[in-house]
């Protein structure tokens, strides 16, 4: 069983620090631990992984608070016109994010700095920092603990990853509900993300990370569909990029990915439960974002962009150029060349084909049509087989 007091005490002993900053993280942490203990049916590895993840979040929180106490000028950093890629899971967000990462004028959240934010990265050692090699050692073990992961997700110490990791440190993150069956926590998170200080803490960490490595932030995570109100409160000039794809192309893929994440941490995997969890998540994401976008977009002309997966795959350059235009800048030739090189080196199914079937998760085509009917009409999408 996970014990909050013990986890907090271990983090304090490990770091030698005591100040966690705002106490607002205690409530979500307690809810998370209760759900993990009561609902997730963790095996020994799952218990170890969950505890390690929570410990990491607590230790990072202590280190961040300590660093900012000694460097209060971090609060003066201006996060200007960040780009948030907010499409639903498996709709092409990762490829778009990785292409934009090839421009050194952009600042994506690379895996090594996301996982090791203190001290913040420096421009002069951004590609040689010793933390990169240590992070890559962990990446190299991915297939050992999560067989098949590399078929589903691009991962490398120096490549960008999702900024859910920033919200792990306030324990308001959908990473946990993706990795474990914890519906009480997931449903509470869906309803309360925008009511918390999670995105204020998100912005504080961006200020910290850009303090010695400037650049325009290019961020990506599907869970941002839950947080549009809070994002635009914290980042009033943010560019919101929504990716779109035929739902029949991504629902089963997402279920399969969730199964892969969960099965190493529990010996009780029910595909129908995974299907139900995934569909409930997609419903909340879609309805929350579409309501917020309809309400907020009219007052923010030029800040919302739509990207259609098939168009992007066919010819990515109009999409890339539209994002740069929205940011008020042009795409330089060296950045274009770097992006083209990445694209040529990262063909689809490079690490093998990811196989999945909708019916394996207790979901029918009619279920998908019912959930996404309005969405399909709004964005002029057609339903595949």
Residue given tokens 């850009």 in the structure block? 210
In sequence order, which residues have a C-beta less than 8 Å from that of residue 237 and are 6 or more positions away?
Answer: 80, 81, 303
Residue-level pLDDT, tens digit, the chain, 385 residues: 999 999 999 999 999 999 999 999 999 999 999 999 999 999 999 999 999 999 999 999 999 999 999 999 999 999 999 999 999 988 989 999 999 999 999 999 999 999 999 999 999 999 999 999 999 998 887 766 677 666 666 778 899 999 989 999 999 999 999 899 999 999 999 999 988 899 999 999 999 999 999 999 999 999 999 999 999 999 999 999 999 999 988 898 889 888 988 998 999 999 999 999 999 999 999 999 999 999 999 999 999 999 999 999 999 999 999 999 999 999 999 999 999 999 999 876 554 455 678 999 999 999 999 999 999 999 999 877 6
Angstrom distances, CA of residue 361 to CA of 71, 306, 358:
50, 29, 6
Residue given tokens 């050992």 in the structure block? 144
Angstrom distances, CA of residue 351 to CA of 153, 229, 312:
9, 37, 21
pLDDT value of position 310 = 92
Domains defined along the chain, listed by start = 80-378 (3.40.50.300)
In sequence order, which residues have a C-beta less than 8 Å from that of residue 328 and are 6 or more positions away?
Answer: 81
Angstrom distances, CA of residue 242 to CA of 222, 313, 377:
9, 15, 16
Q: How many CA atoms lie within 13 A of 381 on its CB side?
A: 24
Predicted TM-score (pTM) of this structure = 0.94
Closest CA to 86 of 263, 275, 286, 265: 286
- State the Cα–Cα distance between residues 25 and 19, nearest whole angstrom: 12
In sequence order, which residues have a C-beta less than 8 Å from that of residue 64 and are 6 or more positions away?
Answer: 21, 117, 118, 169, 204, 205, 208
């Amino acid at each position: 069983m996970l014990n909050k007091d013990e986890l907090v005490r271990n983090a304090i002993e490990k770091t030698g620090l005591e100040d966690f900053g705002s106490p607002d993280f205690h409530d979500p942490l307690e809810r998370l631990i209760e759900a993990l203990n009561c609902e997730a049916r963790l095996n020994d590895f799952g218990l170890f992984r969950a505890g390690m993840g929570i410990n990491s979040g607590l230790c990072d929180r202590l280190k961040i608070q300590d660093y900012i106490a000694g460097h209060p000028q971090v609060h003066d950093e201006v996060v200007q016109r960040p780009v948030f890629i907010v499409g639903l899971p498996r709709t092409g967000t990762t490829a778009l994010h990785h292409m934009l990462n090839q421009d050194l004028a952009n600042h994506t959240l690379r895996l090594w700095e996301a996982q090791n934010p203190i001290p913040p990265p420096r421009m002069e050692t951004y590609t040689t920092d010793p933390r990169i090699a240590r992070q890559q050692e962990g990446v190299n073990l991915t297939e050992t603990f999560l067989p098949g992961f590399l078929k589903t997700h691009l991962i490398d110490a120096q490549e960008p990853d999702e900024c859910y990791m920033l919200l792990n440190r306030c324990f308001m993150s959908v990473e946990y509900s993706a990795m474990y069956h914890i519906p009480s926590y997931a449903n509470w998170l869906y309803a309360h993300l925008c009511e918390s200080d999670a995105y204020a803490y998100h912005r504080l960490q961006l200020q910290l990370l850009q303090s010695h490595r400037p650049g325009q932030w290019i961020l990506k995570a599907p869970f941002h569909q839950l947080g549009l109100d809070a994002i635009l409160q914290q980042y009033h000039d943010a560019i919101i990029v929504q990716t779109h794809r035929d739902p029949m192309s991504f629902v089963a893929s997402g279920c399969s990915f969730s199964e892969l994440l969960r099965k190493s941490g529990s010996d009780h995997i029910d595909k129908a439960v995974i299907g139900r969890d995934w569909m409930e998540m997609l419903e909340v994401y879609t309805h929350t974002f579409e309501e917020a976008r309809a309400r907020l977009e009219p007052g923010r002309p030029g800040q919302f962009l739509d990207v259609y997966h098939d168009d992007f795959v066919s010819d990515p350059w109009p999409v890339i150029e539209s994002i740069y235009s929205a940011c008020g800048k042009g795409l330089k030739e060296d950045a274009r060349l770097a992006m083209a090189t990445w694209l040529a080196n990262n063909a689809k199914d490079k690490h093998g084909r990811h196989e999945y079937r909708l019916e394996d998760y207790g979901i029918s085509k009619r279920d998908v049509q019912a959930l996404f009917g309005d969405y399909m009409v709004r964005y002029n999408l057609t339903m595949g087989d």
